[in-house]
Amino acid sequence: MSGLKAEAEKFLNNAKENTFGWTLKDNSTDDKIYVVVDNEADPDDNPYFSISRNGDSFKVASQYYLLEEVEGVRFIKLLSDYCAQGKRSLTDVLQKANSIYNQVESALMAGEDQGDDEEQEEVEIEVGDDMQDEMPIQPVSSMGSGYDANFEEMKKKFKKPQGASEGCINCIMKEYMKIKQAETEKLGISANPVNDDLFHWEIRFFKFDPKEDGQIAKDLAEYSKKHGIDYITLDLTFPLEFPFKPPFIRVLKPRFAFRTGHVTIGGSICMELLTTSGWSSVCSLESIFVQIRTEMIAGEARLDFSNTTPYTEHEAKEAFFRVAERYGWEKR
C-alpha cells in the first residue's frame, strides 16, 4: 500500500489533473494529507481539507467556510458521500474533489456577480486597543437571502454581555442565522441560545442511526427508555474575543464512557481546532458541529449508564486544559 503523501504529490504535480493548482501542507504524512486549495490568502489561514484512510476508502474533513457550504454546494459532504459509496483510490478521491470544487468555484463566481449589483455597507470588527487596524467582516447585506430584513431586528432580542463589541456580536449573529438557514436539524443537529443569551448556546445531537452510527445510537435508545432523553446535549460559550478565539464546547449530558467518542473524562471535546493553536477565525460553527458529531461516531462513543449527573463546567475545563497542554495545543 503506497503512502498517501507520495500518491497525492503525483496527482498534484500533474497540471492536467490538478486544475486548480492545489498543494500539500508541510505537515502532510503518508497516513494523512492536508490539501491546500487557495494559496493567495494569508499562509496561516489558507483553506485546506484533510484526507486520511478509512478502511477501503477515505475520510475527509475541513473546518473552513469555503469548503463547507457555498450556495448550497456542500464540498465535504459530497466528497464524504462519494468516499462512503465503496472502495476508492486516493486518485479517485482527488479527481472527485476537483469536480466538486469546480461547483464551489462556479457558485462563488455567481454570488460575486450578483453582489456587484448591490450596494454594500462594510461592517468592521473591533479587535482591541492593541491592534491599530480594524478588520472587516462580511457585510450584512451580503450574508445571503433573509439577512437584510431580519438581522438587526433579531439581534435586538438577544442578551449580550457587557463589553461585547459590535463586530463580535455580528459574527455570532451571522453564525446563528447561517445555521438556521442551513436547516441543520436534517443532519441531526440543533443550536439555540440559552434564555436568549447570544453568547451561550445549547447544542443537541440526535437522529443517530443504529446501522450507520454504531453503538451510540443503541445506547441513546436505551437511555431514552430510562430517562426520556434520546439526544446528546452540548453547551457552548463564546469569548468576547470571538471570532479570534474559539468558543468553549463541552458535553453537558448524558455522560460518556471513559475514552470514547473523543470526549474527555470531564466532558470537553478533545479536538485541536477548538484550541487557540488550532483555531482559525474563518472556522464555521456548522461544520464544527458536524465534525464533532462525526468524531463522536468515529471514536465509538458509548454512554456511561452508571452516572446520570451532568458534567460541570469546572470539570470540563480542567479536563480540556489537561489534554490540550499534554498535546501542546494550549497553555494556561
Which residues belong to the active site?
A: 270
CA 114, 117, 121, 124 dihedral sign is: positive
- Length of the chain equals 332
Give the list of residues 6+ apart from residue 246 with CB closer than 8 angstroms, or none: 239, 273, 274, 275, 276, 279, 283
Angstrom distance (rounded) from CA 231 to CA 228: 10
Residue at 21: amino acid letter: G
Angstrom distance (rounded) from CA 81 to CA 83: 5
Cβ atoms 265, 256 nearer than 8 A: no
Note the Cα 251 to chain centre separation in Å: 16
Beta pairing partners, 73: 70
The cell 479536563 sits on which residue?
A: 319
> 161: closest CA among 199, 129, 125, 191?
199
Cβ atoms 200, 236 nearer than 8 A: yes
